[in-house]
Amino acid sequence: MSKISHCISIGDMKALARKKIPSVMFDYIDGGAEDERTLNWNRNAFEKYEFIPRVLRDVSEIDLSTKIQGIPLKLPLIAAPTGMSCMFHYRGEKAVAKAVHKAGGAYTLSAVGTTSIEDIAACSNGPKFFQIYVWHNKAMVQDFILRSRQQGYDGLMLAVDLATLGKRERDIRNGHGRPNLLKLKTGLSALSKPAWLYHYLTQPKWRMANMTAHLPHGALAVKVIDEVNEQFSATVDWNDAAALCKQWNGPFILKGIQCVEDAVKAAEIGATGIVISNHGGRQLDGAPATLDLLPEVVEAVGTDLEVLIDGGIMRGADVIKAIALGAKSVLVGRAYLYGLAAGGQAGAGRVFEILKDEMTCVMQLIGCTSIKALDSSYIRLRNSF
C-alpha cells in the first residue's frame, strides 16, 4: 500500500505533506497571520459543539448531495481558491480540480493560480468557479470576467478581505516577497526533499498563469510578485462589488464576510451567496472564528442568499456541524493542500475521500439520512460553553 492510502485522517496527510515538501512551502500552507490566534480559533470553534444522536433509524442509505448556486453536487464540498498551487506539487490546480470533481464537489480557481482559466476548463468538466479581486488594473479584471464566461465557469467568487495583505510571519521569515531570500531558503530546505526538487528543476517555472498578457517577464512568479501585490486596492468598496455583480449577471459570491452587517449588504447588492471566511486566519489575527459567526449570519440572511463557510475544517464531522448550523456547503483549502503536497491528485483525492467517509459515518451515527434534512436539532453547544 502507498503512503497515501495509509492516511486515515487529514492529520495523517498533514504529517506526510511535511515530509514531502520544503519547510518554506509547508509553512505557506500551514501558517497564519501574526500569533495565529484566528487560525487556531477557527479549528477550536468546532469543539464547542456536540451532536444529539438519534438511534434506531434506518441509516443504510446516506444522501450527501446538495445544490450550490443551483448546481447539483454529490458532496457539500467546494475546493477553496488557493494561489500558486504548483509550489506544493507540480500538477498544481489541475490535480485538485480533477480530484474534487471525481469526488462530486466543485472547484474554485484562484486569480493568482499557476494554471489558467482555460486549462482548468479543459482538464475537467465539473462545476467550477473563478475567484476574482477588484484590482487597480481594470483591463485585467475585465479580461478575467470575459474568459470565465467564455469557458463556462458557473460563477464568480469575489474575495473581499484583502484591502492589504495580512502579516504572515512564517512567510516573511521564509522570504516570501523577497525573491533572493526565498530562493536561498527554498533551496536549502529542498535539499532533503529530492522528489520535490527534481520536479522544481525539470518542470516549467511557476507563472501567474492568468496574467501572462498583462504582466512583464511572461508573468514569471518570482519576477512579478511585487507587481501582483501592488494590484490589491484599499479603495475597493460596495459600489465596486455591486458593479461586478451586475456585470457578471449570474451566480456571484462574496468571499470574506466576517460580520452580520456585511452579510446583509451582500444580499442588498444582489450577491447570490457569501462565504463566511477570515482567509483561514491569514489576514486579520483577531478576526472571529467563522463557525462562531455562522448562526447569526444565517438568521439574518439565510433566506436571501446561500451562506457558505470555510476555516478550520479538518474532519467530516466539521462539515456536518457547519451544515447543521445553517451553511449550505463548506469550502476546504488547507486540507486539500496537505493532500496535494503529499501526493498530487491522489493525495487530494484521498482527502476528499476521507471527508466523504467521515461525513457518512457521522450521519449514520446521528440518525440523519440526508444533508437536506440536517438542521440545528442535531447539534448543541457543550455545557462547558
Q: What is the number of H-type helices and E-type strands within the chain?
A: 16, 12
Q: Give the domain ranges of the chain.
A: 3-381
CATH architecture of 3-381: Alpha-Beta Barrel (3.20)
Q: What is the four-CA torsion angle of 202, 203, 204, 208, rounded to 10 degrees?
A: -140
Cell 496527510 sits on residue: 13
Element (H, E) at 349: helix 334-366
Number of Cβ atoms within 10 Å of the Cβ of 138: 9
C-alpha count within 13 angstroms, C-beta hemisphere, residue 2: 10
Per-residue pLDDT of 89-109, as tens digits, reads: 999 999 999 999 999 999 999
Whole-number pLDDT of residue 319: 98
Known catalytic residue: 279?
yes
Q: Are 372 and 63 in contact (CB under 8 A)?
A: yes
pLDDT score of 385: 64
Count the Cβ atoms, other than its own, within 10 Å of residue 226: 10
Q: What is the pLDDT of residue 1?
A: 42
* pLDDT tens for each residue of 211-267: 999 988 988 888 887 788 788 888 889 999 999 999 999 999 999 999 999 999 999
* DSSP-derived pairing of the beta strands 252-257 and 273-276: parallel
What pLDDT, on a 0 to 100 scale, did the predictor assign at position 362?
A: 98
In the prediction, which pLDDT does 75 show?
98
Residue ranges in the chain whose pLDDT is less than 70 = 1, 385
Chain position carrying cell 482527502: 351
